[in-house]
């Protein structure tokens, strides 16, 4: 990694209502999570974020690569001789319209500035074609699963009779997974903060994370103490490999 190069940090989130103030901006969980990941990358890489460009939209089908501020970030990076820093490329693609995934893939491939993924500590350009496609297809599967869950919910709500036992079991498992994913997103900032406390190159262990969560008084899913296994599951759900 070339530590002399600067970074232009771009973050993007879909919002239900337009953000009109700094307080609104700071209260947005998705943008806060992305900013935390970018700051950790800055600290661990020894590089410096020259400018931070948060972006948002109420239109869920617009891909982030089509946003004016995204291209503004690229222009600033190009002029400053800097790289572009995204928090989590897969997460950004997961919130892109399914018909826009190929477009995202093509635009990222064609960029003439280095694009870093803070969560992976890898640049898009350093990934092989297979690695890029794996990242994209993983995001597509998450989107398909989310879409199916919504359709199943709509179908169930409109049915006159209750779902058969097997369907209820599947929906129950799906609801449990979604609840676990939501909890993981809520605790992601805490985990990233604990990672940021470690020396460069050192990994956070599940046991150390469990101890930190318990010390901070953060309850586990069932309201008890965190263990090695529950902390390991949390780390897996936010995409961190100990």
- Give the lowest-confidence range in 68-72, 171-175, 201-205, 238-242: 171-175
State the Cα–Cα distance between residues 63 and 98, nearest whole angstrom.
Answer: 9
198 exposed, middle or buried (CB, 10 Å; 0-12, 13-18, 19+)? middle
Cβ neighbours of 120 (radius 10 Å): 18
Q: How do 48-57 and 83-86 pair as beta strands?
A: unpaired
State the chain's maximal CA–CA distance in angstroms: 64
State the Cα–Cα distance between residues 44 and 70, nearest whole angstrom.
Answer: 24
DSSP string, 173-222: HHHHHHHHHHHHHHHHHHHHHHHHTSPTTPPPPHHHHHHHHHHTT---TT
235, 208 contact by CB (below 8 A): no
85, 121 contact by CB (below 8 A): no
pLDDT tens digit sequence for 27-49: 888 899 999 999 999 999 999 99
pLDDT tens digit sequence for 136-174: 787 777 766 655 544 555 555 555 555 556 666 666 666
Domains within the chain, CATH numbers bracketed: 6-126 (3.40.50), 183-242 (no CATH)
pTM: 0.59
pLDDT (average), residues 170-184: 72
Sequence-ordered list of residues with C-beta below 8 angstroms from that of 63, at least 6 positions apart, any chain: 96, 97, 100, 103, 104
pLDDT tens digit sequence for 114-141: 999 999 999 999 999 888 888 878 777 7
Handedness of CA 161, 173, 90, 212 (dihedral sign): positive
């Amino acid at each position: 990694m070339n530590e002399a190069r600067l970074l232009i940090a771009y973050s993007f989130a879909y919002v239900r209502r337009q953000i009109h103030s700094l307080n609104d901006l700071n209260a947005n969980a998705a943008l806060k999570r992305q900013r935390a990941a970018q700051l950790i990358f800055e600290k661990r890489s020894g590089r410096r974020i020259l400018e931070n460009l948060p972006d948002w939209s109420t239109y869920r089908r617009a891909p982030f690569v089509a946003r004016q501020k995204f291209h503004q970030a690229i222009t600033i990076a190009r002029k400053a001789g800097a790289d572009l820093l995204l928090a989590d490329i897969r997460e950004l693609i997961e919130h892109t319209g399914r018909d826009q995934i190929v477009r995202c893939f093509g635009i990222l491939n064609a960029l003439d500035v280095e694009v870093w993924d803070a969560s992976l500590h890898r640049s898009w350009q350093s990934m092989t074609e297979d690695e890029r496609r794996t990242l994209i297809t993983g995001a597509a599967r998450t989107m398909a699963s989310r879409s199916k869950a919504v359709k199943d919910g709509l179908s169930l709500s409109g049915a006159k009779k209750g779902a058969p036992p097997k369907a209820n079991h599947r929906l129950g498992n799906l609801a449990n997974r979604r609840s676990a994913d939501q909890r993981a997103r809520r605790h992601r900032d805490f985990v990233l903060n604990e990672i940021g406390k470690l020396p460069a190159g050192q990994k956070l262990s599940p046991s150390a994370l469990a101890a930190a969560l318990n010390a901070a008084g953060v309850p586990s899913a069932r309201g008890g103490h965190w263990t090695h296994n529950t902390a390991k599951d949390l780390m897996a759900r936010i995409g961190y490999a100990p």
